[in-house]
Structure 1
Amino acid sequence: TFNIVPDDTILNKIASENDLTFYKLFYKEEDIGNDNHTLRIYKNRDEINLLVFHEGRAAQAADEIAIDRMYAANNKISVGDKLAIRDKEYTVTGLSSVPDYACLYESNSDMMFDAITFGVAFLSEEGYNAMSDAHESYNYAWVYNTAYADDTEAKNRSDDIIDSLEDTLKEYDEAQIQAQVNALYDDAKGIAKTLEKQFDSASSSIERKIEKAAGNAAEKAISSLSSDEITEVIVSASGKTKEELSEQTMALLGLTDEQKLQLQTMVLSGQITPDQTLGAALMLSGKSESDLMQLFIKASGLSMSKASEALMKKAAQNQGTSVDGLIAKQLGTSTSAYKAMIDAFEDAENMLDDVDADSMEAPVIDFDELDSEKDYENEMDFNLDDIYGILDKVDATKIYSTAEIRETLAKLQALMDTEINDSSILEVKNYIPRYLNKAVNFVIDDASGDEAGAMLMLYIIIAVIAFMYAVTTSNTITKEAGVIGTLRASGFSRGELTRHYMVLPVIITLIGALIGNVLGYFVFPSVFTKVYFLNYSIAPFEVFWTPKAFLLTTLIPLAIMIVIVFLVISKKLRIRPLNFLRGELKKKGKKKVVKLPAKIPFFGRFRTRILFQNLSSYLVLFLGIFAAAIMAVFGSMFGPLIDDYTELVQKTKIAEYQYVLMDKVETENAEAEKYCITTLNTTDEKYVMDDIGVYGINENSKYITKEIPSGTVLVSNGYMEKFGLEEGDTITLKEPYGTKEYALTVGGDYTYDAALSIFMNRSDYLDAFDEEDDYFTGYFSHEKLDDIDPDDIAAVITETDLAKIATQLGNSMGAMMSAFSGLGAVLFLLLMYILTKQVIEKNTKSIALTKILGFTNGEIGKLYLLITSLVVVASLILSIPLIDVALRWMFHSYMYTEMSGYIPYIIDNSCYVRMVILGIVCYALVAVGMMVKLSKIPKGEALKNQEL
C-alpha cells in the first residue's frame, strides 16, 4: 500500500526486477453506524482475488453494494437491506467472500481478527468513483510470474522486493525533493541578482547625495571662515610656512612683469603693507577670491578634498560640531543617523556576499543521511537580519527609500520560509507478503490444529470400536468353542480360523470405511464446513479426493482395527483343540468358582457372579466409557478453559499498553519504558515450529519485575510447560527463514500467559543480536502515549487485544468442541448399548431360567442391569483421575506437538460433573431399552442347547 498513486514507470521497474505482475486493488475505508464499525470498500474485481457470492449478486448500480458474508451474518444484514455510508443509502445486493480476507483482519498487526466490527464491501466502478476519496488507500496485489516452492523461497523473494522498493523509491523521492530544492535556488539566484543591482543603485545614489552634501558643507565651512583662519588651516595642514605658501601662490597668480613692477611700487610707496601684497596681486590679476583659495590650496600641495576636510573641521570646531554633523545637516538628518548609516555601509559589502548569486549552489539530496525521507527541511539560510539592519539605518536618515529593496528581500525570505512539499514523496505504508498475511493464513493454521485434534479423536474411537469387535468376536468364539475344537481336530489351522473370525470385522470396517468416504465427500462436508463458515469468510468449495485424507481417515483406522482384532483373536485361538472341545478356554486349566461370603445377600452374590462372568465385557465397557468420557470432557473443557485463560492473560499482562514501533521514536511520558523485541523460531523437530518473542528488558524494569540472571534468560510459563523445559536447560532458536541459530540457557520461568516468550537482559540482547547501545523497538506503558505519531507505530497491544484472542479462540473452537461433546454422547450410547446388550445376550439362558423360577422382569432387571449400572457409575467416577492423566498426556505428547502457540491445560470441575451426568443419562436410555429386551426373552431359551 502506497501513500500516493505511484507512477507506472516505478511499478514496471519493480515488476521487471522481481518477475511479478501488479494488480490495482484500491480501497476506501468508511465508518458506518454508531458502533465504530468500519467497512473497507473496494470496487468490483475482475482480475485477481475475485468475489464469490454465497447469496445475491455483485453491485451494478451506483447505489448498490455487496458485503462480506461473515460481517453480514454477525450483524444480521441480509440481501435487500439498506446500509448508510456517508449519508448515502446503499442496497445490499449480495453476500460475498474473497480469498484475501478469509479472516477479517483489519490490520496484519492485530493479534486477532474481528468479524463483528470490521468487514469488506464492494461497489460498482460508478459507485466507487462517486464515493469521496478522503479515506482512499492505494493498495496493490502482486503475483509472481513463477510460483515459489516454499515459505523460505517466498521470504527470499519478498526480501528482494523490499530491496527493490527501497532503491527505486529512494531514487524517485530524492529526485522529487532535488527538483524542488533546485527550483528554490534558481529563484534565489534571480532574486539575488536583482538585489545586487538594487544595492548598487542605492549605494551610487546615496554616495552622490553625500558628495553633494559634503561639497555644500565645505563651501559653507569656507565661507564661514576668515581669510586668516583659512590661511592658518592650510598652513597647518600643508606643513609649510605662511611665507612659502604666499610666495608659491603669487607665482601661481601668473602676474605679468608690468603687474609685478606695479605691485612692488605699491609696497615701496607705502600704499600697501607686505601682508596686503597677496590681496593686491589678486586684484591686479583680475581673479576672484575663490580662485585665490584654489591657488592657495594648490600651492599647499593638498588635494581639494583634504583641504576641504581640514577647513570643515575648523568650521565644525567653530560651530561646536563635527564634519559628519556638517554633512548630516546638509542632508537634512541627524549626526547619529548619518554616522550609523556610514558604519553600516562599511559592513554592507561583506554582508552582501552571503547572497551572491554566483556562489549559490543547491545541496545534493541524499536520504541515507536522514532518519526519514520526510525529515528533509529547507536549508536555505541567508543573513537577512543584518541586511534589514542596514536598510533600517538608511531609512533613519530619510535620504533614500529602501521600499523596493525590502520587497525583494521579502521574496528571498519567502523562499527561505518555503517548506519542502513532501506530498510527492512515495512511501510504502503497508507491505504484507502472502506467507505473512494473517487474513489468508489464519484459516489454514486453524484448520491444521483442528485436524490434529480430529485425528486424535478418530484413532481413539477406532481403537475402542476395535476392542468392541474383539470382545464380541471373543464371546462368539466362546459360544462356538465346541465347533472350533471339532474344526481344529479336523485339520483346520489356527490361521484359517483367525482369518474366518476376522472376516466379519474387516468387512464391516471396510463397509464402514466405504460409507464413511461417501458420507465424508458428499454429505458431511456441508455439516462440518458450517463450523468454519461460522468463523471465517471462506468461499464455497468443492471436496476432492486426496491421498493424504485417504491415508489418515481410511487406511490407518483400518490398520488399527485389523491389528487389534487380530491380536485378540489370535491369542484366543492359541488354546488346544481338546480344550475347545471341553469348553476349557482358560489357559490355566479348569475355572474355579470363587467362593463368596455367605453373609452377602443372595442378590448381592448373584450380581457379583454376573460381574465375574462378564468381567471382560465390563472391562471393555469401562474402556469405552473412559474413551467416551475423554471426548465428552475434551469437548466441554474449552469453554471454561478459555474463560480461565482470558483471566490469566489479563492478570499476567506486562503493561496496559505495549507499543511496537516502526522506528526509534522518543516519548516524553515518564511512565514509558523502552524494550527490544525480535522473533525467533523453535528448532525442536518434535514440535510444529513456533514463533517466540524474544524481549530485551532494561535493568530494574518496573514492568518485568523478576530479576533476569546475567547470561541466561527467563522463559514464559507457557513455553516451559509446552516444551517441558527446566531451569538450566539450553534451548536453540533460529532466525525466521534464515539459518543463524541462538543457544540460550534457561535461568528460570516468568509468568506471562499471552504468548510464548523469552526475556533477556538488555545488554545480553544487544550482544546477541549485534545492535547499537541506543537500539529499542517499543515501549511498555500503563498510560497511552499521545506524543507518538501513529505513522511511527506498528502495533499497540492492549487488554482488549489480549481478550480478543481468547474470545476468538472460544468462537472458533466452540462449534468443533460441541461436535466432540456430541460424539462423546453418541459413543456413550453406542458402547453402553452394545456391551450391555452383550451381557444380556450372554446370560439369556440364565435370564430365561430365572423367569421359570418365578422372578419378575423388574427383579431380573435388578439382577442384571443394576450391576451394569453400578459398573457404569463406577467407571464414570474412576475415569475422572484417568481422564486428567490421559488429557494431560494428549496435550503434551500430541496436541502441543501438532499446534503452534499455547493453550494451558486446565479442566474445570464442572466438566467432570457434566460428563458424569451425561454418562448416567445415556445409560438410563440404554437401560430402558435393555429392560424392554429383557422382558422379551422367552422362557424356552432355558431349554435350548443344554449340555448333559
Structure 2
Amino acid sequence: MRNPLWKRLPRELKSDFGKYIVIFLFMTLTIGFVSGFLVADDSMLAAYDESFEKYNIEHGNFTLSSEASESTIKKIEEKGDVRICKNFYRDESVDTDLDGTENGTIRIYQDRTDMDLVCLMKGEMPQAKNEIAIDRMYADNNSLTVGDKIKVGGEELSITGLIALSDYSCLFSNNSDMMFDAVKFGVAIMTEEGADQFGTTHLEYRYSWQYANEPKDDIEAKNMSEDFIDILVKYAKVTEVIPGYANQAIHFTGDDMGSDKAMMEVLLYILIVIIAFVFAVTINNTIAKEASVIGTLRASGYSRGELLRHYISLPIIVTVIAALLGNVLGYTVFKGMCAAMYYGSYSLPTYETRWNADAFILTTVIPVALMLVINLLLISRKLQLSPLKFLRHDLSTSRRKKAVRLPNFKFFSRFRLRIILQNKSSYLTLFVGIFFANVLLLFGMMMKPLLDHYQEETVANMLAPYQYILNVPEEPDEDEKFTLMGMIEKLLTPSLKTNEESAEKLCLESVKNVVPGKDGETITVYGIEDDSDYVSTELPTDGVLISDGYSEKYKVKSGDTILLKESYGNEEYELTVRGIYQYPGALAVFMPVDSFRKTFGKSEDYFNGYFSQEKITDLDEDLIAATITEDDLTKISRQLDVSMGEMFQLINVFSVILFALLIYLLTKLIIEKNATAISMVKILGYQNREIMRLYLTSTTWVVVISILLSLVLSTWTIHGIYSYLMSSFSGWLTLYLEPKVYPEMFAMGMGAYILVAVLQFRRIRKIPMDVALKNVE
C-alpha cells in the first residue's frame, strides 16, 4: 500500500516554498558553476595535455651567447642523445595604438615546422615581410584583432592572425618572474624575411631540444636535464638553460588548472555541508513542532525508519533536482563562462567539450550523499525518543530538564537571552556560515588593495628607475691576453663605460636558493658599490642583507645562514644573514661589491650592470642584456588585476549572497519556531515593533557578535593559508590587509542582515493571534 505520508510532501513544500526555492536556486547556481568549471577545466586540461604531442613541445631550451656552429650542435646532440633545433627570437618594442609611445615588448619568432608548433586560432599566418601573427590573449588585452596595424621596432606591421604558441601557454617573458605578463609582453610569428629586418641587436640564440627517449616523470626529467647541462656547458657558452619540467611558460598553466579544480571541489562541499546543517536544523524544528503527530503515528505502528525517510525526503529531492539542473546549466551556460575565464588568463589552443563523468559524480553523487549522511546523523537521533515523549513534547535527549538560570537582567534582556539559548543550534550554524562567508569575502576584498599596496611599495622602494644588466664579454685566458688575436678582440669589443652622470656600477648574479626537497628558486645577488646612491644602508662586510620577501617566504632571520647554488653549475655559496632590507621587487641578496667579487671569483674591476636615474643612451645595444624598469617590477600586480579582477568581484558577490541566505533561513526558522509565543504576546497587547525588538534583536546580537568574531578568525585563517597559497609562486607578495576592508565587510554584512530583518518583520506582522488559541496543549 502506498505510504500516505508521501501526500504531506507537496503541502510541506507549498507551506515552506520560500525556504526551499531560495535553497534550490542557490544550490542550482553553485553546482552549475562548479560543474561548468570542472567541465571546462577538464576539457581544456585535456587539450593542454594533448598539445605536448600534437604540437611537439620541447623538453627544454638553452640560450647561447652566439650562434653555435653545425659541428658543435651535432656534437652536443650525439653526447646528450638529444635532437636540437633553432628557435631564435628577438624582443622588440611595440606600439599597439600607434600613438608614438611604447606599450611593451613583443617576442618575435619565425614560423616553426619542427618543435613547438603554432595553433592558428583566427585569420592567417603571415606571408609578407610587413605581416605578423600575434598571441590571441595579448591581442585581447590590448584590444587588437585581425586587420589592425601595430608598430614593432619602428616598423608598421599588419596583423594577419591570432595564434597560440604551444611553448607559451602562459606568457612569462623570463622564467624567473613571479608572474606572467600578458598586457605588456606578447609573442608573435613572422616570416624569416620579416624577422631579419630587425637586425641582430636584440637577437637571442635560443635552441630547443628533445630527448631521444622521453622522460617518464619530472624526477627522471630533472636527472636527464642535469646530465644534459653538464654536457652542454662543455661545448658552448651558455647564458640560460630552461629544462622543460621547470619552464613556467609551458607548465604553469597545467599546474594552475589542476589546483583550481581541487579548490572548487572543496568550496562546493563546504557549501553543501552548511546547507545540509541548515536543512537538519529546519527538520529538527519541524519535528519539535509536529511532536504530537509523530507520537500518534509511532503509537499507530509507523516505524522510525518510515518517519526518518519522510522527513529527509524533501532535502534529498531538492538536492537531486538542483544537482541535475545544475549539471545541465554547467554544460550549457557556465561552461562557456569558465572557459572564457581561462582564456582570459592563459594562451591556450582551441578545445573541445568533453563529457566528464568525474564532474557528474563530484557535483551530483557526492553532494546528495553528503546531504543524506548529515541529515541521517542529525535527525535519526531525535527520532529515537519513545512515542510517549513525543506526545508529551518532551524532546530533550539529556537528563537535565531545568532551564538555565539567567542573571538578574531586565525582562527584555532575559527574554532575548532565553531565545538565544533555545535556538543555540541554529545560531551556531549561522556563526559557522558567517565565518566561512567572511573568509571568502576577506580573500576577495583584500586582493585589490594588496596588489595596489604591492605596486606602491615596489615603486617607492625601487633601487633605481633604470637597472641595466650587461652582456659582459668573456675574459680571455692568461695565455691569450697578450696574443695578437686577443689584443685585436679587446680593441674591437664595445666599451662598457657610459657618460651618464647618474649611472652607478653594480654586480649582479642569478643563483638558486637551496631548500631540501624543493627545486631551487632564482635569487638575485647584488654587489653594491661603497657609499651607493641607490642602496641606502650600510652593508655588512662579514655577511649579507636579504630582501624582506626572501625573509618572509623562507622564514629566514638575521643570524641565519642561507645556502645558494650557481644556476648552471655545482658551486655553492654559504652566506650569513646580517639584516633585512626592504625591497619588494624581488627575492634578493645584497652585499658589498668587494665581497661579491671575492665570493663569485670575479676580477677586481668586474661589473655587469648599472643603476641609473636616467635612461642610458650611449651604450651599444648589443651590450645591454636587459633593462629593468617600473613596468617590469609591477607586472605581477598588473597581470593579476587583469586575470583575476572579475573573479575577485564574483567571490565578493557570492560571499554576500551566502551570508544573506543563511541569515534569512535561520531567522525565518527562529520566528516559525516561536510563532505560538509571538501570537501569545500579541494577545497580551504587545505591538509588532515591540515583538520585533524581542525576537529580531536577539538575532541582531548574534549576527553582530558573529561578524566581529568572524573578522578576527577569518584574518587568522587568511594568515594561516597565505604562505601555502604563495609557496607555488616564484617570488613573494607580502600579505597586506587594508584596514578599511574590515568596516566595509561589517557594513556589507549588516546591510544584508537589515534587508533580511525587514522581510522577517513582515513575517512577524502576518502571524495571527489565533495561533496561540489553537494550541490545546
Residue 930 of structure 1: which of 760, 763, 773 is its match?
A: 760
Structure 1 unpaired stretches of 5+: 170-426
Which secondary structure does the structure 1 equivalent of 2:714 belong to?
helix
1:96 aligns with 2:163: yes
Specify whether residues 726 and 598 from structure 1 end up closer, same or farther in structure 2 by C-alpha distance, changes over 3 A only. Answer: closer
| In 2: Cα distance, 1:21 partner to 1:876 partner | 61
Specify whether residues 162 and 827 from structure 1 end up closer, same or farther in structure 2 by C-alpha distance, changes over 3 A only. Answer: same
1:23-54 CA distance string (max 9 Å, x none): 55566757553222554455555554444344
Specify whether residues 804 and 498 from structure 1 end up closer, same or farther in structure 2 by C-alpha distance, changes over 3 A only. Answer: same
| In 1: Cα distance, 2:218 partner to 2:558 partner | 33
1:195-240 CA distance string (max 9 Å, x none): xxxxxxxxxxxxxxxxxxxxxxxxxxxxxxxxxxxxxxxxxxxxxx
Specify the alignment match of 1:133 in structure 2. 197
Which secondary structure does the structure 2 equivalent of 1:100 belong to?
coil
Specify whether residues 776 and 526 from structure 1 end up closer, same or farther in structure 2 by C-alpha distance, changes over 3 A only. Answer: farther
| In 2: Cα distance, 1:744 partner to 1:681 partner | 11
More strand by share: 2
Residue 345 of structure 2: which of 535, 538, 558 is its match?
A: 535
Specify the alignment match of 1:806 in structure 2. 637
Specify the alignment match of 1:921 in structure 2. 751
Residues 288 and 393 in structure 2, CA contact (< 8 A), matched pair in contact too: no
Specify the alignment match of 2:584 in structure 1. 753
Residues 83 and 211 in structure 2, CA contact (< 8 A), matched pair in contact too: yes
Larger CA deviation: 799-808 vs 433-442: 433-442
Residues 448 and 899 in structure 1, CA contact (< 8 A), matched pair in contact too: no
| In 2: Cα distance, 1:626 partner to 1:63 partner | 58
Note the 1:668-707 alignment, pairs <5 A. 672=504, 674-675=506-507, 677-681=509-513, 683=515, 691=521, 693=523, 695=525, 702=532
Residues 667 and 785 in structure 1, CA contact (< 8 A), matched pair in contact too: no
Larger CA deviation: 709-718 vs 800-809: 709-718
| In 2: Cα distance, 1:119 partner to 1:69 partner | 9
| In 2: Cα distance, 1:904 partner to 1:630 partner | 19
Which secondary structure does the structure 2 equivalent of 1:635 belong to?
helix
Specify the alignment match of 1:526 in structure 2. 336
| In 2: Cα distance, 1:739 partner to 1:514 partner | 57
Specify the alignment match of 1:333 in structure 2. none
1:115 aligns with 2:182: yes
Which secondary structure does the structure 1 equivalent of 2:215 belong to?
coil
Residues 449 and 898 in structure 1, CA contact (< 8 A), matched pair in contact too: no
1:443 aligns with 2:253: yes
Query: How far off is 1:435 after superposition?
Result: 3.6
Which structure: larger Rg?
1
Residues 876 and 916 in structure 1, CA contact (< 8 A), matched pair in contact too: yes
Residues 466 and 564 in structure 1, CA contact (< 8 A), matched pair in contact too: yes
1:826 aligns with 2:657: yes
Query: How far off is 1:637 after superposition?
Result: 0.7
Which secondary structure does the structure 1 equivalent of 2:214 belong to?
coil
1:379-435 CA distance string (max 9 Å, x none): xxxxxxxxxxxxxxxxxxxxxxxxxxxxxxxxxxxxxxxxxxxxxxxx878754434
Which secondary structure does the structure 1 equivalent of 2:187 belong to?
strand
| In 2: Cα distance, 1:649 partner to 1:74 partner | 23
1:884 aligns with 2:722: no
Specify the alignment match of 1:639 in structure 2. 448
Specify the alignment match of 1:383 in structure 2. none
Query: How far off is 1:814 after superposition?
Result: 1.9
| In 2: Cα distance, 1:733 partner to 1:570 partner | 61
Residues 125 and 160 in structure 2, CA contact (< 8 A), matched pair in contact too: yes
Query: How far off is 1:531 after superposition?
Result: 2.9
Specify whether residues 499 and 781 from structure 1 end up closer, same or farther in structure 2 by C-alpha distance, changes over 3 A only. Answer: farther
Specify whether residues 736 and 599 from structure 1 end up closer, same or farther in structure 2 by C-alpha distance, changes over 3 A only. Answer: same
Specify the alignment match of 2:26 in structure 1. none
Query: How far off is 1:639 after superposition?
Result: 0.9
- Return the TM-score normalized by structure 2: 0.70
Which secondary structure does the structure 2 equivalent of 1:680 belong to?
strand
Q: Which amino acid in 1 is paired with 2:396?
A: L
Residues 660 and 752 in structure 2, CA contact (< 8 A), matched pair in contact too: yes
| In 1: Cα distance, 2:568 partner to 2:239 partner | 23
Note the 1:392-431 alignment, pairs <5 A. none
Query: How far off is 1:636 after superposition?
Result: 0.8
Residues 664 and 775 in structure 1, CA contact (< 8 A), matched pair in contact too: no
Structure 2 unpaired stretches of 5+: 1-62, 475-495
Specify the alignment match of 2:16 in structure 1. none
Specify the alignment match of 1:907 in structure 2. 737
Which secondary structure does the structure 2 equivalent of 1:693 belong to?
strand
Which secondary structure does the structure 1 equivalent of 2:523 belong to?
strand
Residues 147 and 159 in structure 2, CA contact (< 8 A), matched pair in contact too: yes
1:839 aligns with 2:670: yes
Q: Which amino acid in 2 is paired with 1:592?
A: A
Which secondary structure does the structure 1 equivalent of 2:643 belong to?
helix
| In 2: Cα distance, 1:760 partner to 1:30 partner | 33
Query: How far off is 1:674 after superposition?
Result: 4.4
Q: Which amino acid in 1 is paired with 2:244?
A: R
| In 2: Cα distance, 1:708 partner to 1:567 partner | 64
Which secondary structure does the structure 1 equivalent of 2:440 belong to?
helix
Query: How far off is 1:792 after superposition?
Result: 5.0
Residues 566 and 572 in structure 2, CA contact (< 8 A), matched pair in contact too: yes
Larger CA deviation: 145-154 vs 573-582: 573-582
Residues 506 and 526 in structure 2, CA contact (< 8 A), matched pair in contact too: no
Specify the alignment match of 2:486 in structure 1. none
Q: Which amino acid in 1 is paired with 2:671?
A: I
Query: How far off is 1:801 after superposition?
Result: 2.0
Residue 282 of structure 2: which of 444, 469, 472 is its match?
A: 472
Query: How far off is 1:640 after superposition?
Result: 1.0
Residues 594 and 604 in structure 2, CA contact (< 8 A), matched pair in contact too: no
Specify whether residues 18 and 98 from structure 1 end up closer, same or farther in structure 2 by C-alpha distance, changes over 3 A only. Answer: same
Q: Which amino acid in 2 is paired with 1:116?
A: V
Specify the alignment match of 1:147 in structure 2. 214
Q: Which amino acid in 2 is paired with 1:135?
A: G
| In 2: Cα distance, 1:585 partner to 1:640 partner | 50
Residues 152 and 737 in structure 1, CA contact (< 8 A), matched pair in contact too: no
Q: Which amino acid in 2 is paired with 1:619?
A: L
Residues 683 and 734 in structure 1, CA contact (< 8 A), matched pair in contact too: no
Specify whether residues 94 and 663 from structure 1 end up closer, same or farther in structure 2 by C-alpha distance, changes over 3 A only. Answer: closer
Query: How far off is 1:438 after superposition?
Result: 3.9
Larger CA deviation: 153-162 vs 478-487: 478-487
Which secondary structure does the structure 2 equivalent of 1:909 belong to?
coil
Query: How far off is 1:641 after superposition?
Result: 1.2
More helix by share: 1
Specify whether residues 811 and 506 from structure 1 end up closer, same or farther in structure 2 by C-alpha distance, changes over 3 A only. Answer: same
1:839-886 CA distance string (max 9 Å, x none): 222223334445566666666545434443443344333433333223
Q: Which amino acid in 2 is paired with 1:530?
A: A
Note the 1:787-806 alignment, pairs <5 A. 790-806=621-637
Note the 1:173-184 alignment, pairs <5 A. none
1:650 aligns with 2:714: no
Q: Which amino acid in 1 is paired with 2:736?
A: I
Specify the alignment match of 1:375 in structure 2. none
Specify the alignment match of 2:46 in structure 1. none
Residues 692 and 758 in structure 1, CA contact (< 8 A), matched pair in contact too: no
Q: Alignment length, in residue pairs?
A: 681
Q: Which amino acid in 2 is paired with 1:672?
A: E
Residues 482 and 583 in structure 1, CA contact (< 8 A), matched pair in contact too: no
| In 2: Cα distance, 1:657 partner to 1:933 partner | 66
Specify the alignment match of 2:725 in structure 1. 895
1:590 aligns with 2:401: yes
Higher relative contact order (CA 8 A, sep 6+): 2
Q: Alignment identity in percent?
A: 42
Q: Which amino acid in 2 is paired with 1:781?
A: F
Specify the alignment match of 1:434 in structure 2. 244
Query: How far off is 1:749 after superposition?
Result: 3.5
1:460-504 CA distance string (max 9 Å, x none): 545544543443344345446667778999999999998997787
- Return the TM-score normalized by structure 1: 0.59
Specify the alignment match of 1:337 in structure 2. none
- Cα RMSD (Å): 5.0
Which secondary structure does the structure 1 equivalent of 2:636 belong to?
helix
Q: Which amino acid in 2 is paired with 1:910?
A: K
